[in-house]
Amino acid sequence: MRKKKEKGLYLSDRPPLTPLKAVLLTISYILLFIYVFVILWPLAQIVFSSFNGSQDQYIRIGGTYEFSLKHFKYLFEETYFLNWVVNTIVIAVATALLTLLFVSFTGYAYSRYRFKGRKASLMAIMLIQTIPSFVGIVAYYTMHSIIAAVIPGFSRQMFLVLIYAGGGIASNTFILKGYIDSISTELDDAARIDGCGNLQVYRLIIMPIVRPMLAIIALWSFIGPFLDYMLPSILLSDPKQYTLATGLYTLITDVRNMHQPVFAAGGLLTALPIIILFIALQNQLVSGLASGAVKG
Amino acid sequence: MRYGTTIIDDIGNEHPRRNLRLAEMGVLEERLESEPKEKVAQIKSELKSLARGEHEYEKSLADMRAEEKAFLAKAPERKTAFEKTLTDSDAKIRKWSLEAMESAARVEFYEQHVELSYDYELLARTHRMMAEQLPEIASKRRQILDELNEVTDELERAKKEDQSQVMADFRQYREERLKKRNDEKAYLKKLYKEGQISSKAFANEKREKDLAASEDIRSRKQLLPIEMLTDRVRYLKHRLRQDEKQALTVLHSDIADLRRKTPIEISKRFPWVSYLTIPIPGLGQLILGQSVKSIFFFIGTLYAYLIAIPYALGRGNYRGQGLFGLISLAKDASRLDRSVIFMIEGVIAIILLMIAFLIFYQSYRDVHKNEQRMIKGIRINNWFETRTTASRSGFPYFASAPAALVTLFIVLLPIAVTVLISFTNYDPSHQSKFSWIGLANYKQIFLGQGIAGGPFWLITGWTVIWTLLATSLAIFIGFVLALLVNQDRIYGKRFFRTIYLLPWAVPAFITIMFFSIMFSPDGPLTNLLHQLTGQIINIKDSPWGTRIVLILLQGWLGSSYVFLLCTGILQSIPGDLYEAAKIDGATGFQQTRHITIPILLFQTAPLMIGQYTFNFNNFSIIYLFNGGGPFEPSKYGNLAGSSDLLISYIYKLTIEKQFQGIGAAITMIVSLVLIFFTWIGFSRSKSFREEKL
């Protein structure tokens, strides 16, 4: 049925607005809009300066504005931006897939099977996940040269993927295990009686139910490489191999290479898809963070 | 251990001994304890001769073995005789029938000798089972095969025949059904236009009608002869595979059941095989007759002797010397060799050895357990049983093995190396060769001495201030925003929520770098400050300026996440709480103070602890904003800047300035503190308290 509004009749279930409350409400609105400005102003500056053709190496405010795409042109023609995008996406996808593969098995095994050493290894997992990921930075570089000597063709990026995925195993196993625990075992028992093997039970029964959690795990493993600066800056040395974070940083540190508006353009292109992703999936992402709250 | 007069099978039933020699020995051993001393010598000598195998029973057993050998030697002759009676052409059916006939012959043979030994009893019963079940399996297969042939023929015929009439019928049905669906949909649309049903109901109903129509058409299609026959062929082929698998599994489990109920007699009394075969995993299993299982353990043996041990001794290393590298740290090696590599390879050697040791231990335990079972009288698993148990109880091990290996080498190995490096003098003057120096690094740090250890306490102080202020600010902003936005009189909640999400959604490195640009000398915000205050304030050159801006910036960045979390929780607070409060006369402010804030604080507490540890380690914001600067050499020396956190200091020490030794020591301290705090946070979390491990 369509809603019909009748004028002159107070229909709201809230009490009428008193003058004091009206003042408070106005203050609330003012505060909220001030913060909207605080958030949007810097972000708007990124957008403006990326399209401002009158700036060259440095970003200035209050100068003349002239719409132009030359910074984007520079970004695609003079820098390795496309390489960085491809590198980051490849690393992110590989990390997400590898994490899913590892974690599906471990989460399932720890949730559904009672085996010797289970409790001890769970404690170990909890301890491992509290150890911050930067602990190994001294060893990573040398470790890569050792592995590369044994397996030729083992690139630094592959090692990066292994570090991201390996570092995520402990906490993600814990998250997924908790999620599978909440599913009744009667379903798997029924499947087993019908002749399903271990993997079939996972593939046909568990996986369809835990898909939302798998999606969250995959999403966070995918976003991780986009946001990380430290590990790629340690491991990758060739500008062509850089990820977006390390690559864009070269545009604002190196004096010879300094192009702040170009950085803004690259930042804009990088941020847009991620912003869309975050806005579209905000509820899932927050719940994923909440269940992974243990990770420091 | 004594022989005793009875043995126990796997289920726990006692059986009398059939090996008369062992039974007699058991009786004598019992007498040995009760009889007076003078007879002891005589009993002992009797026992000795029995132990040498001098007994009538052994002779009859040897006779029987010879007979059995002759009988088994005739098997090929029997096979050719049976083959003549077979008419079926299917290979599997032939095989099963032959096996069944041979089994029948063996049943006849073994049944005469059942009393002699439990082995013969088991053989007789096993073969009886096979002689009974195999023909059944074969005849079932024949039945399905016949049906399959028939249906296939029918299908061929149907394909040749003219199907146009049937197809036309089907098409007509489909058109009618689709038309009916369209009519229904048109009616729905009319209802919707008139406002009788909502848009949601309209969409749902439409989908339902579509589904129903396609379902009807599909089931009608399956009535077409060709469709039906093709389906039938597929089904029969599936049955052919599935039935066979199932029937054979039943047969094997029946046999396994027999094995559990029939004991075994061996004269061994001490599990020496397990001790003797410790050095060669797999050999013990082979000796006990578990040949397939032994293959897996032999692979472990190969791993241990060809990979782990040679590696630990320095063979096949990249540069190092295996375990010895850990001691020497490349001291006497060539000029090009680096201590780090020796150290890492030493740690790898330890890990490989540990895995090898695990294999040895598992194999020993396996053999030992099985041998003890055999001595008791229990038959050990054959391959079918091993496979069944391994696929169930072994699954978690196989499933987590890859993840465990990766964790071992990618996570634990670097940690171990960092721990070790913190005890060395790995610094700029010892880049290639360093040596053990004990706790000197830790001493330097705690006393604040040396170039690298000097600024430690200053940096720690700032790190603590930063962690507390930046996180609290972000939490405060997020909290207040969430409370403001979620007042029920505020309109445009979605709009505010989307805007406030942005600082979290934009990759932090981009915003940080951009703010860094804006605060650079001559940057936009520096100019703005200049215009506002009339003074030239260069934030990046002033220690406290940088610090305050960093804290504000983190407040800006971190508030989004807190805001989102709090919003989620606020929406989940049940409304009746507020209603009850209102009835009791609570004002809006009181409701917020006594209901909203306690619930928010309580539910977000563990996550907020996470925020504090996150900021403690917030490398990006410090490093990307001002590189840890500005530098104050008089206070911080040349290695650190005045806004450096411990984590960025570690990064500078290990990656940029080559003070890896001290960097590792600081890493250790920081990690221990962090582990402690996250552990506290975790032990208070719900899942831990409820012991839902």
DSSP assignment of A120-175, as one string? HHHHHHHHHHHS-GGGGHHHHHHHHHHHHHHSTT--HHHHHHHHHHHHHHHHHHHH
**A103: pLDDT confidence band, cut at 50, 70 and 90?**
very high
DSSP assignment letter at A58: S
- Residue B565: per-residue pLDDT: 85
Is B505 an 8 Å CB contact of chain A? yes
Tell which of A1, A45, A85, A134 to mutate to test the B interface (max B CBs under 10 Å).
A134
Q: Tokens representing A284?
A: 């899932």
**Pairwise CA distance, residues B513 & B625, whole Å:** 6
> Of B395, B504, B678, which has the smallest distance from its Cβ to A294's Cβ?
B678
Secondary structure element (H or E) that encloses residue B15, with its range: strand B14-16
Residue ranges per structural domain of chain B: 272-421, 443-686
Q: Tell me the chain A residues in contact with residue B624 when contact means C-beta distances shorter than 8 Å.
A: 229, 249
Predicted pLDDT at B685: 60
Q: Chain B: give the shortest CA distance to residue A73, in Å.
A: 19
Using CB atoms, pick whichever of B488, B610, B671 lies closest to residue A295: B610
What does the domain layout of chain A look like in residue ranges? 77-240+277-291
The enclosing H or E element of B28 equals: helix B20-34
Predicted confidence band at A289 (pLDDT cuts at 50, 70, 90)?
low
pLDDT the model gives residue A225:
87
Chain A residues with CB-CB distance to B488 below 8 A: 14
- Comparison of pLDDT for B104 and A135, the residue scoring more: B104
Per-residue pLDDT at B139: 92
Place of tokens 């085996």: A115
Q: How far is CA B341 from CA A137, A144, B327, B527, in A?
A: 14, 11, 13, 51
pLDDT of residue A98: 94
Number of residues that make up chain B: 693
Structural tokens at position B307: 């990979």
- Token digits of residue B664: 């590792």
**CA pair distance A126, A146, nearest whole angstrom:** 29
ipTM of the complex: 0.84
From chain B residues 122-151, the ones with a CB under 8 A of any chain A CB are none
Average pLDDT of every residue of chain A: 83
**CATH domain B443-686 topology:** MetI-like fold (1.10.3720)
Residue A293 has pLDDT above 70, yes or no: no
pLDDT of residue A296: 29
Query: With the C-alpha atoms ordered A157, A158, A159, A164, is the resulting torsion angle positive or negative?
Result: positive
- The pLDDT assigned to B150 comes to 93
Minimum CA–CA partner of A40 in chain B: B499
Please, which residues have CB within 8 angstroms of residue B657's CB and are 6 or more apart in sequence? Answer: B428, B452, B639
Residue B682 confidence (pLDDT): 66
Quick one: average pLDDT of A94-106? 93
| Burial of residue A104, with CB atoms counted within 10 A of its CB: 0-12 exposed, 13-18 middle, 19 or more buried | buried
B568–A contact, CB cutoff 8 A: yes
Cβ–Cβ gap B500/A35 under 8 Å: yes
Q: Where are the beta strands (DSSP E) in chain A?
A: none
What are the b/e assignments for B565-592, b being 16+ CB within 10 Å?
bbbbbbeeeeeeebeebeeeebeeeeee
Do the chains contact at B511 and A143, CB–CB below 8 Å? no
The reported pLDDT for the residue numbered B380 is 86
Look up tokens 């200091």; give the residue. B649
Distance CA A80, CA A58 (A): 20
Q: Which chain B residues have a beta carbon less than 8 Å from that of A282?
A: 501, 564
**CA proximity to B414, closest of A144, A155, A101:** A144
Task: Pick from A34, A50, A137 the residue to mutate for testing the B interface (most B CBs within 10 Å).
Answer: A137
Work out the number of other CB atoms within 10 angstroms of the CB of residue B156. 11
Where is average pLDDT lowest: A55-69, A107-121, B426-440, B586-600? A55-69
Tell me what the mean pLDDT of segment A156-168 comes to.
Answer: 89
Q: So what's the pLDDT on residue B1?
A: 60
Cβ contact, residue pair B481, A135, below 8 Å = no
Write the single-letter amino acid at B683. Answer: S
CB contact under 8 A, B527 and A167: no
Which chain B residues touch A249 with a CB distance below 8 Å? 509, 513, 624
Q: Which of A32, A108, A279 lies closest to B498 in CB terms? A: A279
CA–CA separation, B691 vs B683, rounded Å? Answer: 10
| pLDDT score at B158 | 86
- Confidence bin at A27 (pLDDT 50/70/90): very high
Nearest residue of B to residue A107 by CA position? B400
Q: Is B384 in contact with B256 (CB distance < 8 Å)?
A: yes
For the cut 80, the answer to whether the pLDDT of residue A254 exceeds it is no
Phi, psi of B14 (to 5 degrees): -90, 140
pLDDT of residue B693: 46
Profile chain B (693 residues) by mean pLDDT over runs of 10 residues: 78 84 82 76 80 80 88 88 85 90 90 86 91 92 93 90 85 92 91 86 91 92 88 92 90 91 85 89 89 92 92 83 83 79 90 93 93 87 86 86 90 90 87 85 84 83 93 92 86 88 88 86 79 78 87 92 86 84 85 85 78 86 85 78 88 86 89 82 60 48
Look at residue B6 and give its three-state secondary structure: strand
Query: Which residue of B lies nearest to A130 if distances are taken between CA atoms?
Result: B675
Instruction: Give the fold, CATH level 3, of A77-240+277-291.
Output: MetI-like fold (1.10.3720)
Quick check: B671 contacting A, CB < 8 Å? yes
Could you identify the residue written with the tokens 């000097």?
Answer: B454
